[in-house]
Amino acid sequence: MKIMIDIGHPGHVHLFKHFAHTMMAKGHKVHFTVRDKEFETELLEHEGFSYTNFGKHYHSKAGKIWGLFKCTWLVFKTGLLFKPDILLSHGSLVNAFASFFLFKPNLALEDTGNHEQVRLYKPFTKAIITSSSFPMRYGKKQIFYEGYHELAYLHPDVFTADKTVLKELGVGEHEKYFILRFVSWNASHDVGQGGLPLQDKKDLIALLKRYGKVFISSEKALEAEFEPYRFSLPPWRMHDAMACCTLFVGEGATMASECAVLGTPAVYVNSLQRGYILEEQDYGLAFSFVNGHGVLEKVKELLEDTELDEKIKHAHAKLISEKINVSDFLVWFIENYPQSFSMMKKDTAPPVRYITER
């Protein structure tokens, strides 16, 4: 079997990497397509994957429209050479459109719920694969699994933190440190959304510095005063760092969820709420805010909670016991498609527990 996977975000490399390695070990062929956005190509090279780079990612509205046509053509052209049996992605429009011309099934994992994007790719997609915590309903093409995307690469079956990262960060074994994540707000689902105001970021850093070291990961260029806090290790070391850190605070849902499934308390600040973050909040692993109001108070509360480590330990154990290894699920689903889709459709859709207002 040949599988072609389109990448639109660094997190997508992580999402599919264990699936890809397992499929290749079984004799299947996997090829990735990618644009230069953040550090996607570095991650693909680190994993040793075959990939085609279509060049720069466009940020302007006109650029995005041009990029959609350009990359659809390039995915189609790559598909003619690679001859995939299945196209797979995290809701990629270019994969969906190219699959139509390639006469091959397109399968999409979805956890963002961008209405405009889903509306465009849904007619060209055979299956939309979502977590049971996902609040949107897409009809007969949708199937549900009991987990989160982040459990495709951070489930204990596939990930163990390398604690040598502490030495690389210059952090003592028992020293507290914190990771912050700021987003660029350039993604289509970020239109009209917001997170931490600049002054709140300054106040947050000032607060955290009283307890330990601060490291910042950012999609956009950092303000000069924040530059000394930049996370400077290679991107593939971030998960080790998050697994060992004291607390995460950020505007990025993916990194907040990654910390939650690693057993690191995560404070998520974004007006665009996510069903999986809200479910992780129910577990007591994440704490969600629509803006900066109340964030500093929650951070102080967590830092002063002498029982926090024990609470997080129990909450994490409960989550892992109730969720699946998503990479194993994907391997089964793809190898057995389309029969696997028919089998999954026999299950009743879970109730809508989290409604995301747009």
Residues 193 and 279 in one domain: yes
Residues 263 and 296 in one domain: yes
Residues 180 and 310 in one domain: yes
Residues 6 and 112 in one domain: yes
Bridge-partner residues for 207, per DSSP? Answer: none
Asked if residues 257 and 150 have their Cβ atoms less than 8 Å apart, the reply is yes
> Tell me: the pLDDT tens digits for 46-56?
999 999 999 88
The average pLDDT across 163-180 equals 96
Residue 112 inside a domain? The answer is yes
Residues 300 and 212 in one domain: yes
Domain that holds residue 243: 165-321
**DSSP class of residue 123?**
G
Residue 353 inside a domain? The answer is no
Residues 272 and 201 in one domain: yes
> Tell me: the pLDDT tens digits for 200-241?
999 999 999 999 999 999 987 889 999 999 999 999 999 999
Predicted local confidence at residue 186, as pLDDT = 54
Amino acid at 245: C
Residues 196 and 308 in one domain: yes
Helices (H), 106-245: 115-121, 165-169, 198-209, 238-244
Residues 182 and 202 in one domain: yes
Predicted local confidence at residue 227, as pLDDT = 94
Predicted local confidence at residue 37, as pLDDT = 80
Residues 70 and 116 in one domain: yes
Q: How many domains does the chain have?
A: 2
Residue 173 inside a domain? The answer is yes
Residue 60 has pLDDT above 90, yes or no: no
Q: Measure the CA–CA gap between 171 and 194, rounded to whole angstroms.
A: 32
Distance of CA 64 to CAs 54, 60, 67, 72, Å? 14, 6, 5, 12
Task: Give the chain's end-to-end CA distance (angstroms, integer).
Answer: 39
Sign of the CA dihedral with 5 first, then 6, 7, and 11 last: negative
Residues 25 and 136 in one domain: yes
Distance of CA 297 to CAs 12, 171, 301, Å? 33, 25, 6
Burial class (CB in 10 A: 0-12, 13-18, 19+), 160: exposed
Predicted local confidence at residue 347, as pLDDT = 60
Residue 358 inside a domain? The answer is no
Helix (H) or strand (E) run with residue 228 in it: none
Nearest to 251 by CA among 222, 211, 225, 218: 218
> Tell me: the pLDDT tens digits for 96-109?
999 999 999 999 99
Predicted local confidence at residue 356, as pLDDT = 44
Sign of the CA dihedral with 205 first, then 208, 210, and 213 last: negative
The tokens of 345 are what? 């459709």
Residues 176 and 44 in one domain: no
Q: pTM to 2 decimals?
A: 0.88
Buried b (16+ CB within 10 A) or exposed e, 266-284: bbbbbebbbbbbbbbbebb
* Helix (H/G/I), strand (E/B), else coil: 182: strand
Q: What confidence tier does 348 reach under pLDDT thresholds 50, 70, 90?
A: low
CATH of the domain at 276: 3.40.50.2000
Say if strands 213-218 and 286-289 run parallel, antiparallel, or are unpaired: unpaired
Residue 354 inside a domain? The answer is no
Predicted local confidence at residue 91, as pLDDT = 95
Residues 41 and 186 in one domain: no
Predicted local confidence at residue 202, as pLDDT = 96
Predicted local confidence at residue 238, as pLDDT = 96
